Structure 1
Amino acid sequence: MEAQKETSQPANKTSTSGGDQEEQCCSNTSCEKNEEQEPSSPKQGDFSDPVYKEIAIANGTINRMNKNELLAKCAELKLDTRGVKDVLKKRLKNYYKKQKLMHSAGAKGNSDVYFDYICVVDFEATCEENNPPDYLHEIIEFPMVLVDTHTLEIVDSFQEYVKPVVNPQLSEFCVKLTGITQKMVDEAKPFNQVLKQAVSWLQKKELGTKYKYTFLTDGSWDMGKFLNTQCKLSRIKYPQFARKWINIRKSYGNFYKVARAQTKLICMLENLGMEYDGRPHCGLDDSRNIARIAIHMLKDGCQLRVNECLHSGEPRSVPISAPIEGAPAPKTPKKRD
């Protein structure tokens, strides 16, 4: 829901009691900003190893290439030739880095994947053309797209519409933006029931039990604003399994070294040489396109890792020094007191 995310005002802060500890993602306030940092491979070892000098030399050679030379080299190595010049450079650098490190360590296979699955979420919510500062966005579409990080494929998806309560009548702007009609939400289930369905779907995939997984979103709004606000409106506790996530905008900007203005969904797709597939602002289609970007980044050598969490009711950055942990097994949240 990119257009709505760009224009949304910060959600109203609600007072919380000292005992509302489920709002925190960690026991302290160590979730500090680290947007300019890029995680290194946990298996890189000693940087004095001669292999890193070889990598530096290869990087210097790549930096001096023009776009035609970059395209020719990618084609020679049978790498993807789509994308702008900076994307091609990053692709080649990561290819040579991975090859040299694997050769040096005698490693085989894709050993730098942190999670077995990544679950992409992009909610759609009620909105007005000009939202007042106190407007409460209610989730009206709950989509999830599951990416297998080993096969680098979308393997399944979930989608349910949700019946709003505070603003049951959708605005004309909302219908036009999202394609979600009044009939669709009138016939939908309330959020707490849809959330139970979503939890059941995740459980059937054995996520958090047999397989390590995490969530991925296009920005901080889906979890930090929309889901957080909706849980308060529905009087249920925020789900523990959704407290940490990958903000792909941060990951993309850090990995390809581009400005924030180049991390909008359409910009990311275009810079990677792809076109949007589907209807913009359809939550499921947005999720699928975000998943395509994530898969492309994994192929280019990006080590997608959790970089945001919900702390005291607000989204915070997770430092790269934090341990790499998968989301806990999904459980239906309890009601608020």
Structure 2
Amino acid sequence: MKTQISHYFLIVDLEATCCNNGSIPSHEMEIIEIGAVMLNRATWKIDSEFQQFIQPVRHPQLTSFCTELTSIRQQDINQALRFPEAISGFKELIDLFPNYIFCSWGNYDKKQFLQDCQFHNVPYPFTPEHINIKKEFSEYLGVSKGFGMAMALELLGIELKGIHHRGIDDARNIAAIYKYIKTQKIS
């Protein structure tokens, strides 16, 4: 039981530059917010949180679509750290928690981290293991259909807290979903 106390689920949600008109190709999207929580596997409580805005370099001006979707404003990212510095700070937090598993809602966040790490020539900060909580949620329900995070909360009767499409708020909400599906039985 003692070793289980040191195990964590690192639940990460990213927001990235985006558009609705094709002006930013997916391979040029960049992370503009990292939201993360360390969910303790033994207590199912969040032991630590991380939130950081990041200044994009490929498309430094946010589109109005991106601002409306995420509520992240231009002034939030203008003075923010660039990706290499932000990852360095994030890695310091991660290193405080042994035996974590990187988790996210779907595979997008992992792919975006890999893309940004490659572009900025920064080592990928996570262990190789990754849990796709979106997939685990579908398996929990016994369906093949994938659900968005907000719909998953609704299906479980859990209130969406904070602002949808904000990294830190979505990470907290994903943690609530994961705690539920790991600690509740289907009735």
Question: Common fold, TM-score beyond 0.5?
Answer: yes
Of 123, 131, 135 in structure 2, the residue corresponding to residue 246 of structure 1 is 131
Q: Give the deviation of 1:264 after TM superposition.
A: 1.6
1:218 maps to: 105
1:122 maps onto 2:13 in alignment: yes
AA of the residue aligned to 2:177: I
Q: Where does residue 61 of structure 2 map in the other structure?
A: 169
Secondary structure of the structure 1 residue equivalent to 2:11? strand
Greater strand share, structure number = 2
User: Which residue matches 1:139?
Assistant: 31
Q: Give the corresponding residue for 2:177.
A: 293
Matched, 1:230 2:122: no
Tell me, yes or no, if the aligned pair for 1:124 and 1:282 is still in contact at 8 Å.
yes
Spell out, residue by residue over 1:19-60, the C-alpha distance to the aligned partner (whole angstroms, 9 max, x if none).
xxxxxxxxxxxxxxxxxxxxxxxxxxxxxxxxxxxxxxxxxx
1:260 counterpart SS class: coil
How far apart in 2 are the matches of 1:141 and 1:163? 9
Q: Answer with 1 or 2: which has the greater Rg.
A: 1
Residue of 80, 85, 101 corresponding to 1:188: 80
Cα deviation per residue 1:257-309 (whole Å; 9 max; x = unaligned)? 02324x2212211111112111010110000000000111111269xxxxxxx
1-side partners of 2:75 and 2:181: how far apart?
38
Ranges in structure 1 where 5+ consecutive residues have no aligned partner:
1-108, 303-337
Q: How far does residue 242 in structure 1 lie from its aligned partner after superposition?
A: 4.2
Instruction: Report the CA distance between 1:233 and its aligned residue.
Output: 1.8
Task: Determine the structure 1 residue equivalent to 2:158.
Answer: 274
Question: Structure 1 runs of 4+ off > 6 angstroms?
Answer: none
Q: CA RMSD in A?
A: 2.2
Give the partner amino acid of 1:188: A
Q: Is the 8 A contact 1:280 1:286 kept in 2?
A: yes
Counterpart residue identity of residue 145, structure 2: R
- State the identity %: 32
Q: Deviations over 1:105-131 (max 9, x none)?
A: xxxx8x9x7972111001100001133
What is the identity, as a one-letter code, of the residue corresponding to 1:117?
A: Y
TM-score, with length taken from structure 2: 0.90
Q: Residues of 2 paired with 1:273 and 1:117: CA distance?
A: 25
Give the aligned residue type for 2:84: N
Matched residue SS, 1:156: strand
Q: Secondary structure at the match of 2:159?
A: coil
Q: Is the 8 A contact 1:120 1:215 kept in 2?
A: yes
The amino acid that maps onto 1:297 is I
**Residue among 66, 71, 93 paired with 1:201:** 93
Structure 1 residue 155 displacement after superposition = 2.0
| Distance in 2 of aligned mates of 1:274 and 1:150 | 21
